[in-house]
Amino acid sequence: MKHLIGIKDLSENEILSILELGETYREKLINDRNNIPQILKDKVIANLFFEPSTRTRMSFEIASSLLGAKVINFSENVSSIQKGETRLDTLKTIEAMKVDAVVIRSSISGLPYILARDLKDVSIINAGDGSHEHPSQALLDALTLKLKFGNLNRIKLSIVGDILFSRVARSNIILMKKLGNNNIMVFGPSTLIPREIETFGVKIAKSFEEVIEFSDVIMLLRIQTERQNSAYVPSTREYKKFWGLTEDKLRSINKDIFIMHPGPVNREVEISSNIIYCDNSLILDQVTSGVAVRMSILTHILSSTLKF
């Protein structure tokens, strides 16, 4: 693996290998911190976030640091972007500084592909590109589910929200299909559900009741007002009523349903406040798996000593 651009590019074996090492790192992260191997101690990793982010940037930064890498942050507002340089020029410059990997988030769908094509030495790690992919998110979600359910190919997973523009939904669906999981259901405002998704074997729910009945796990998506044409999006009040998860909806049926959300949560929109951290919520578990899976990703991409 030289880059991580999208789940689309990964084989089933590569996915499973990332999850396996991620599980090992998760254990060390929680219980055996001083036995994390400093395998990236000669590596330089640059974080380039062209969109605001807390969790993804911090998660990558912690993952990098714990493996001993030198981390350089780059944020738009104190940079040469102000001076009119193109993204490619910026990346070529960073490559020429002998940076080993760039973790990049951008609103431009496909930017990481273009960069990976035009750069020759530096590894590109996509931390979310427009409405295209967010591969490390899908991998951390998979690790979270694997730890909870043991295997991934029979979990009944519903994804609720903006399926059309969500890179999280996209990457998760591709990953699940790659692992042979055919139990994926989506639900959301009809303007935000791509009809052709059914041709990939993904079910489209007609009501939240159908979602509840079907699911082992409900993955709520964040309303991404910053990336959407507001014409597609209902008011937050309407959104909560029809597509938000509430305690009432959750208890309408007598079974254990687990809740996921990539964060940050819009309280009282996608989910009501009182169930964000309930016993069946995997939301914080996802965050912990995030650091571990990113340690695994970085190791797969940057460590020459790791053998497969």
Q: Which residues bind a copy of itself (CB under 8 A)?
A: 29-30, 33-34, 36, 41-44, 46, 49, 52-55, 57-59, 61-62, 65-66, 70, 72-75, 77-86, 89-90, 92-99, 222, 226, 263-267, 276-277, 284-285, 287-288, 290-291
The smaller minimum CB distance to a copy of itself, of residues 36 and 306, is found at 36
User: How far apart are CB 205 and a copy of itself at their closest, in Å?
Assistant: 27
User: How far apart are CB 34 and a copy of itself at their closest, in Å?
Assistant: 5
User: How far apart are CB 107 and a copy of itself at their closest, in Å?
Assistant: 14
The smaller minimum CB distance to a copy of itself, of residues 205 and 298, is found at 298
The smaller minimum CB distance to a copy of itself, of residues 50 and 208, is found at 50
The smaller minimum CB distance to a copy of itself, of residues 23 and 210, is found at 23
User: How far apart are CB 298 and a copy of itself at their closest, in Å?
Assistant: 14
The smaller minimum CB distance to a copy of itself, of residues 73 and 280, is found at 73
User: How far apart are CB 195 and a copy of itself at their closest, in Å?
Assistant: 29
Which tokens in the block code for residue 307? 């053998």
